[in-house]
Structure 1
Amino acid sequence: MTSHVEEIEEEEISKIEKGKGKDCHRGIETVICTSPTTVCLTQKLIAEMIGTYFLIFAGCGVVVVNVLYGGTVTFPGICVTWGLIVMVMIYSTGHISGAHFNPAVTLTFAVFRRFPWYQVPLYIGAQLTGSLLGSLTLKLMFHVTPAAYFGTIPSDSATQALAAEIIISFLLMFVISGVATDNRAVGELAGIAVGMTIMLNVFVAGPVSGASMNPARSLGPAIVMGVYDGLWIYIVGPLVGIMAGGFVYNLIRFTDKPLKELTRNGSFLRSASPKHKTSTSKS
């Protein structure tokens, strides 16, 4: 009896994935979605929204808790929390949506033809929605004082904060490109590598700029809390740094692969030797 019920449930799930479902009230089959592509895209957007939500809830929430509860977490604890939540959400949703959680990353993937352009605004919308919901949750849960503000504000000059954001965003995208987009890398370690990069960046740039690296991470808290000081830094800095990081890694990848292939089959040596090339053509 149980196996029969399970078979029916699996059949219904299969129908939904194909874009069809059953109306239990009227006993007729209706179209829920126009195509499997729509269902798949919806799943990706939900994964991006949930992932970004928990990035804000855990990463920004630990900042609030640390201030409101007498510094019990400490700055190293904040850094570790950011690295852990990024790693956890990558392993949880990376196989569904790619685990971008960052509009600048999504845009860079599209520029380098590793992500379809038509999905870019949908992904960014899902990421911003997750950030706003996460920020709203923190605002409702805690009495957030100005000292416990969980957004990002330059601690010194805007120039210093902008430079820090560009550099750490560059490193983040360079690592992402290496472990997540290059088939020569060990893909299973992508979550650990990216999470540890986030942690290191927060250690270095956290006291300077807040170590955003992500426009969604800064926009959500700013909008919910109504604090817009230096917000442009956290839009321009990550975009410039992440785009540059992706460009540099792609430059390395494109110059490395042909050299290996040419050297492997000997054509590089033949092209470098005119005499050898002539003798080969004559034979």
Structure 2
Amino acid sequence: MPLSSPVPLPRALAAEGIGTFALVFFGPGAAVVQAQTGALGHLGVALVFGLTVTAVIAALAPISGAHINPAATVALTLAGKFPRSRVLPYVLVQLIGAALAGFVLLALFGMKGNLGVTVPAGTVLQAFVLETVLTFFLLLVALRSGLPWVVGGVVALEAAMGGPITGASMNPARSFGPSLASGIWTAHWLYWAAPLLGAALAAVVNHFLSPGEPVEAQPRRAQEFVLTRESI
């Protein structure tokens, strides 16, 4: 259901910008550190993504819902849990936060690891299908459970599985920030189209599973939606 008493928009936007900045700084940042030092490993990078999402949700969900992902905002809106009037401001501030993080990484590390930009390792079709499925499961879980560790755990799980193939973005903003800072736009469109399709499918399936009242592990937080809510 829609938020009954939304936080004033400037405060909500500030939280979304900070949360999305954190996601891109620490997530792709971990991939950059891995490229420079080899210290984290693939599973370590996936864990950083998951822990970042968990922390952001725990800290910022009461303020903005901690979408930190345009696909999450779309899924919430389609599920009737987020006011349509806030969609565009949320998406814009998510992109700004992601872009700022991308340029901070560029200033710190140069082009090491291509700033964690997401590009398909296989075919575009394979990447599109995988990103759609990953986003679908991530947002279905996020719609049905507001627990930070649950959503963060799914992010880590999917980053571990899909990262080597697509970067496991599941998040247009996560892909946009590093692409803007690096100038690498290879198949960038699919990192918008696939997550948005996955978001729509998640909203439809969530309604089918609970046409009346959604399952709420933590009622208040589930109403506000917490995400990734990322990758990516």
The reply to whether residue 209 of structure 1 matches residue 175 of structure 2 is: no
State the TM-score, normalized to the length of structure 2: 0.87
Structure 2 match to 1:196: 153
Total equivalences in the alignment = 210
Could you say what secondary structure the match of 1:254 adopts?
coil
1:166-177 to 2 correspondences below 5 Å: 166-177=132-143
**Which of 113, 116, 119 in structure 2 is aligned with 1:150?**
116
Separation in structure 1 between the aligned mates of residue 144 and residue 123 of structure 2, nearest angstrom: 32
Where do 5+ consecutive residues of structure 1 fail to align? 1-36, 181-189, 258-283
Structure 1 match to 2:11: 43
Structure 2 match to 1:129: 96
**Which of 175, 179, 190 in structure 1 is aligned with 2:145?**
179
- Tell me, yes or no, if the aligned pair for 1:106 and 1:120 is still in contact at 8 Å: yes
Could you say what secondary structure the match of 1:205 adopts?
helix
Separation in structure 1 between the aligned mates of residue 180 and residue 42 of structure 2, nearest angstrom: 25
Structure 2 match to 1:52: 20
Separation in structure 1 between the aligned mates of residue 14 and residue 144 of structure 2, nearest angstrom: 26
Structure 1 match to 2:59: 92
The reply to whether residue 233 of structure 1 matches residue 190 of structure 2 is: yes
Separation in structure 1 between the aligned mates of residue 149 and residue 15 of structure 2, nearest angstrom: 19
Structure 2 match to 1:61: 29
Where do 5+ consecutive residues of structure 2 fail to align? 215-232
State the TM-score, normalized to the length of structure 1: 0.71
- C-alpha offsets along residues 175-198 of structure 1, whole Å, 9 cap, x if unaligned? 011113xxxxxxxxx101000000
Structure 1 match to 2:126: 160
Q: Aligned-pair distance for 1:110?
A: 1.5
Query: Among the aligned pairs, what percent are the same residue?
Result: 33
Q: Aligned-pair distance for 1:255?
A: 6.6
- C-alpha offsets along residues 139-167 of structure 1, whole Å, 9 cap, x if unaligned? 0011223x444110000110111111011
- Tell me, yes or no, if the aligned pair for 1:176 and 1:194 is still in contact at 8 Å: yes
Could you say what secondary structure the match of 1:113 adopts?
coil
Equivalent AA in structure 2 for residue 212 of structure 1 = S
Structure 1 match to 2:105: 138
Task: Report which structure shows greater RCO (CA 8 Å, sep ≥6).
Answer: 2
Q: Which of these two proteins has the greater Rg computed from alpha carbons?
A: 1
Could you say what secondary structure the match of 2:210 adopts?
helix
Separation in structure 2 between the aligned mates of residue 122 and residue 39 of structure 1, nearest angstrom: 14
Separation in structure 2 between the aligned mates of residue 251 and residue 88 of structure 1, nearest angstrom: 30
Runs of 4+ in 1 over 2 A off after TM superposition: none
**Which of 53, 56, 69 in structure 2 is aligned with 1:102?**
69
Equivalent AA in structure 1 for residue 8 of structure 2 = C
1:259-278 to 2 correspondences below 5 Å: none
Q: 1:38 to 1:199 in 2, by over 3 A?
A: closer
